Amino acid sequence: MEEKKILEVEGLETSYDMIKALKGVSISAITGKLTCILGPNGAGKSTLLFTLAGILNPDRGKVIFEGEDITNQQTSNLVEKGLALVPENRLIFPHLTVQENLLAGAYARLAKEREIVEQDISEMYARFPVLKERSSQLGGTMSGGEQQMLAVARALMSKPKLLLMDEPSVGLAPLIVGEIFSIIKQLNEEGISIVLVEQNASKALEIGDYFYLLDQGKQIFGGSREAILKENIIKKAYLGESAG
């Protein structure tokens, strides 16, 4: 059985001025699978996703997307190639309406295929009915859960093949967390490859196929769900008490 890798990261190093936040991270994501990245606060998870999305440039290392070296490419190119990030803290456009937030998500396609974009927005409303109700409301006036749905929908508007998600469940009520996770699961079943960064390790363990552990800018574990469940030390050290 041959498994294609949609994403391969080799020896990635990224720093902020003085601080080296990634000190050589090598991970990969298999096409169609859900890859989870776990690790304590400050481990470098968000830095990794920002580097993959072209927001930060690495000092060293390589990022390969669908066999092509995309290291240091502009974010706008990456979005057109099919890579999208749902960032930490959602980063909704607070003074754009829900509808305009979604249009912005499809920015690259807006000039050429406005009508298809309109259709995609209708599909997005069918998938997230709460967004339809609020379509003319300003993004910043919505609740945390609604903003998270909007952030996911906005990223989906670029028709990604690989969706990177940074802690989509953080700060949300348990009921909403469940809803977000079932959306992630469903998107993955529909064929979108996903790299999910999560604090909520027990939830991640329920839906993930592959797992990486990051700590202090280094990757200290990588493997399947079976493998990570066997690693008791890792479980105690990094998954905390919430891991069942």
Q: How far is the CB of 68 from ligand ADP (least distance, A)?
A: 25
The reply to whether 46 sits near Mg ion by the rule CB under 5 A is yes
Question: CA torsion angle for 238, 44, 10, 163 (degrees, to 10)?
Answer: 90
* Residue 43: contacted member of Mg ion, another protein, ligand ADP, none (CB under 5 to 8 Å, by partner type): ligand ADP
Q: How far apart are CA 153 and CA 131, in angstroms?
A: 9
Closest alpha carbon to 196 in 36, 66, 7, 68: 36
The reply to whether 21 sits near another protein by the rule CB under 8 A is no
The reply to whether 104 sits near another protein by the rule CB under 8 A is yes
The reply to whether 90 sits near ligand ADP by the rule CB under 6 A is no
Q: How far is CA 177 from CA 4, 9, 148, 204, 206, in A?
A: 30, 29, 10, 11, 13
Q: How far is the CB of 117 from another protein (least distance, A)?
A: 11
Q: How far apart are CA 141 and CA 206, in angstroms?
A: 32
The reply to whether 14 sits near Mg ion by the rule CB under 5 A is no
The reply to whether 10 sits near another protein by the rule CB under 8 A is no
Within 10 angstroms of residue 215's Cβ, the number of other Cβ atoms is 17
Closest alpha carbon to 59 in 11, 98, 105: 11
Q: How many residues bind another protein (CB under 8 A)?
A: 29
Q: How far apart are CA 152 and CA 228, in angstroms?
A: 27
The reply to whether 91 sits near another protein by the rule CB under 8 A is yes
Site track for another protein across 160-199, x = CB under 8 A? ----------------------------------------
Consecutive H or E run containing 163: strand 162-166
The reply to whether 47 sits near ligand ADP by the rule CB under 6 A is yes
Looking at residues 2 to 21 of the shown chain, list those that interact with ligand ADP (rule: CB under 6 A): 16, 19, 21
The contact set with another protein (CB under 8 A) reads 53-55, 74-76, 79-80, 84-85, 87, 91-96, 100, 103-105, 107-108, 110-111, 138, 154-155, 158
